[in-house]
Amino acid sequence: MRTQVAIIGGGPAGTLLSHVLRRAGIASVVLERQSRDYVLGRIRAGVLEWGSVEFLRANEVGDRMDAEGHVHDGTRIAWAGRDSFYIDIKKHVGSQFMAYGQTEIQKDLYDAGDRIGTEIVFDASDVEIHDITTGTPHVTYSANGDTARVDCDYVAACDGYHGVGRPTIPHDVLRTYEKVYPFGWLGILSETPPLPDLVYCNHPRGFALASMRNPMLSRYYVQCSLDDTVDEWPDERFWEELLIRLPEDTRDEVVTGPSIEKSIAPLRSFVAEPMRYGSLFLAGDAAHIVPPTGAKGLNLAISDVYYLSRALIHHYERADDRYLDNYSDMALRRVWSAVRFSWWLTLLLHRFPDQTEFDQRAQEAELEYLRSSHFAQASMCEQYAGLPFET
Ligand code: RFL
Ligand code: PHB
């Protein structure tokens, strides 16, 4: 098989890239290790920056998002059981965000792919990248017991944190930066009406977050120990803990019910540089991970695809490699800014096992500053809403 761009990973980054390229007449093949149903069953992100919303719209995969997603002007923050305060993002920076599940975006992308004829191979195992510095790379994989080969001009590794793309880059070229946090997030989905706003809470017993997917689907999280298992958290315990951590002004509004999904995710910050090696480009979680506190992971995957698709389109349509050559630097500027913001918000809102009384008081002072200062709120809003894409 011969194509122009071989894409490894059929998550949001890989499928969006193949979709945008296909619209520009550039051929690609996506190799996804899992089945389509498996990918669609993973519950993950729920918040889209406006730049992500506009990029999806511009590529005609935004209709259902616009019909079913929920536009928000701001978000709530609470601490130490006090009443929450509203941070009005629209007022401070003129931007909004959209609550729309990653699962739904993934479904929209697969459906759009069926319509416009993008090529996705599901259940592709043993993917390997070859000759990445030669200018004539190829990728091999196994499917249905056979081995297949894809010859291509470029390889885009959109294969997430545990993929094969990043380890293909030699150790003496790749530089990685990592911070692991000493807790996880236990998340549940329940078919109950959500609170009207997202509410982020810092409570003495740990962080909590109220979020949503649609008018009858709520998403809630509580900070938990890394040793905890889902079995140790029956629904009754989850709801009891969530209600303790939520501020009084929101507690009474929460409608509880049986969970339909429950999972624990560890929190990590991670960046790999550079995001290009020879003909290989990394995009999305393959190159970077952020703790979910800032709601940035999916948005970074989308902005990487924005930069990479533009670079490939300029290469094929105009023989202009300026954006390809700048891809790593340009993408990493946005990545580091989101990594810093996600780290900062994680420090502000969580209780750390080794937190001293000094740390505690400094954290409270910062929360008070955020509550009372227009400037602190504007800075947070600018980053939560997402920095603009570079031209
Ligand atoms: P993905 O989604 O991991 O997709 C990678 C795909 O590659 C496949 N794959 C392979 N395929 C072939 N061969 C191999 N060797 C392969 N190895 C892996 C995998 O099967 C998979 O299908 O990466 P991508 O596309 O870069 O997308 C990134 C996002 O999924 C991720 O950043 C977000 O979900 C993070 N995230 C959030 N991001 C936000 O922007 N807003 C949020 O509100 C938000 N909330 C979250 C989150 C992540 C969470 N978890 C579970 C970590 C909340 C949570 C709880
Ligand atoms: C979610 O709805 O899953 C969600 C929302 C906001 C975050 C993280 C996750 O910061």
Instruction: Kindly report, residue by residue over 178-225, the tens digit of the pLDDT.
Output: 999 999 999 999 999 999 999 999 999 999 999 999 999 999 999 999
The residue annotated as part of the active site, out of 92, 296, 315, 350, is: 296
pLDDT at residue 372 greater than cutoff 80? yes
- Minimum-distance ligand to the CA of 294? 2
pLDDT at residue 298 greater than cutoff 90? yes
- Kindly state the average pLDDT of the residues 5-16: 98
Residue-level pLDDT at 82: 86
The structural domains of the chain, with segments of one domain joined by +, span 5-71+98-178+268-349, 181-267+351-385
Residues contacting residue 208 through CB under 8 Å, at least 6 positions apart? 199, 201, 220, 221, 222, 223, 241, 242, 245, 246
Assigned token pair, 367: 């929360």
Q: Which residue has the tokens 């296909």?
A: 22
Under DSSP, is residue 212 helix (H, G, I), strand (E, B) or coil? strand
pLDDT at residue 249 greater than cutoff 90? no
Residue-level pLDDT at 217: 94
Is any atom of ligand 2 closer than 6 Å to the C-beta of 47? yes
Question: pLDDT-derived band of residue 283, with 50, 70 and 90 as boundaries?
Answer: very high
Is any atom of ligand 1 closer than 6 Å to the C-beta of 49? no
Cα(192) to ligand 2 centroid in Å equals 17
384 in catalytic set: yes
Assigned token pair, 230: 């889902």
Residue-level pLDDT at 81: 75
Question: pLDDT-derived band of residue 351, with 50, 70 and 90 as boundaries?
Answer: very high
Cα(364) to ligand 2 centroid in Å equals 23
Q: Could you tell which of 221, 261, 262 is best to mutate to test the pocket of ligand 2, judged by most ligand atoms within 8 Å of the CB?
A: 221
CA pair distance 244, 247, nearest whole angstrom: 8
Is any atom of ligand 1 closer than 6 Å to the C-beta of 45? yes
CA pair distance 245, 182, nearest whole angstrom: 19
pLDDT at residue 171 greater than cutoff 80? yes
Residues contacting residue 350 through CB under 8 Å, at least 6 positions apart? 181, 183, 202, 206, 207, 223, 293
CATH topology for 5-71+98-178+268-349?
FAD/NAD(P)-binding domain (3.50.50)
Question: pLDDT-derived band of residue 14, with 50, 70 and 90 as boundaries?
Answer: very high
pLDDT at residue 43 greater than cutoff 90? no
Do the beta carbons of residue 339 and residue 269 sit within 8 Å? yes
Residue-level pLDDT at 258: 97
Is any atom of ligand 2 closer than 6 Å to the C-beta of 199? no
Q: Could you tell which of 158, 285, 296 is best to mutate to test the pocket of ligand 1, judged by most ligand atoms within 8 Å of the CB?
A: 285
CATH topology for 181-267+351-385?
D-Amino Acid Oxidase; Chain A, domain 2 (3.30.9)
Do the beta carbons of residue 286 and residue 166 sit within 8 Å? yes
pLDDT at residue 287 greater than cutoff 80? yes
